[in-house]
Chain A
């Protein structure tokens, strides 16, 4: 069964600090991995999309890495801001269609002043 596990479940950091969120997946055959940001009460918003051949992808202060061999991904947030407070969801997509996508349960990040 395809699975996506994220850690930690929740995290509190001081404004200006960096943090790294982890994602382990067991999806086969693998197509691509996505990170979403979901603000409270809003829909998820795409941050990065990485295919099998990509190791890293950046979107502003967000940098995602992918190790397809170990089936691990991480999302690094640099110089955190209060607006980074949100849930971050890892999504693994197998080949064969988006209907088989598996969403992680998310890491809830709180950035405090």
Chain B
């Protein structure tokens, strides 16, 4: 099992450019999440999905879009990148039960110039 994988690991964008971050999990988990982690702050939820074809907004959704066309994949899109989106992005997945373990990917470090 690869667990949760993220592509790419690093990326540098110019302001206004777009990109898509890919998250894949091979544990057949229903729930998937996108977080950002900034220095001095706890992880913050951007968007999440409770199943294939469904997505919902988290705490900081502005400037991001997501899609969950396949159960194993969760895509995070930035349509017009801004320097404020410079961050480390983590994807996570878990099963449906509230007390189940959440598994995180290795992260994508994004810099927007």
Q: Are A104 and B42 in contact (CB under 8 A)?
A: yes
Bound-state CA distance A105–B101 (Å) is 19
A residues 1-50 in Cβ contact with B at 8 Å: 4, 31-32, 34, 41-46, 49
A-B contact count (CB 8 A): 51
Please give, as numbers and ranges, the residues of chain A lying within 8 Å of B40 by CB-CB distance.
105
A31 to chain B minimum Cβ distance, whole angstroms, is: 6
Segment at the A interface, from B63-71, B78-86, B102-110 = B102-110
Q: A49-B99, A105-B40 are in contact. Are A98 and B107 (CB under 8 A)?
A: no
Q: Number of contact residues on A: which range applies?
A: 20 to 34
Contacts of B51 in A (CB 8 A): none
Given contacts A98-B31, A98-B98, contact A103 B42 (CB under 8 A): yes
Q: How far is the CA of A32 from the CA of B99 in the complex (A)?
A: 7
B90 on interface, CB distance cutoff 8 Å: yes
> Closest CB-CB distance, B97 to chain A, in whole Å?
10
Contacts of A75 in B (CB 8 A): none
The answer on a CB contact under 8 Å between B101 and A106 is no
| Contact status B94-A98, CB under 8 Å | yes
Query: Which A residues touch B90, using CB under 8 A?
Result: 43-44
B48 at interface by CB-CB < 8 Å:
yes
Task: Say whether B104 contacts A101, CB under 8 Å.
Answer: no
Q: Which of B48, B58, B99, B101 contacts A51 (CB 8 A)?
A: B99
Chain A, range 57-113, C-beta contacts under 8 Å to B: 89, 93, 95, 97-99, 101-106
Is A42 within 8 A of B56, CB to CB? Answer: no
Q: Is the CB of B106 within 8 A of A43?
A: yes
B28-56 CB mask vs A (1 if < 8 Å, else 0) is 00010100000011111100100000001
Q: Which residues of A contact B99 (CB under 8 A)?
A: 31-32, 49, 51
If A98-B31, A98-B102 touch, whether A105 touches B42 (CB-CB below 8 Å) is yes
A-B contact pairs, 8 of them (CB 8 A): A89-B42, A89-B43, A93-B98, A95-B98, A98-B31, A99-B48, A103-B43, A104-B42
Closest 5 CB pairs of A and B: A103-B42, A43-B104, A103-B43, A46-B101, A44-B104
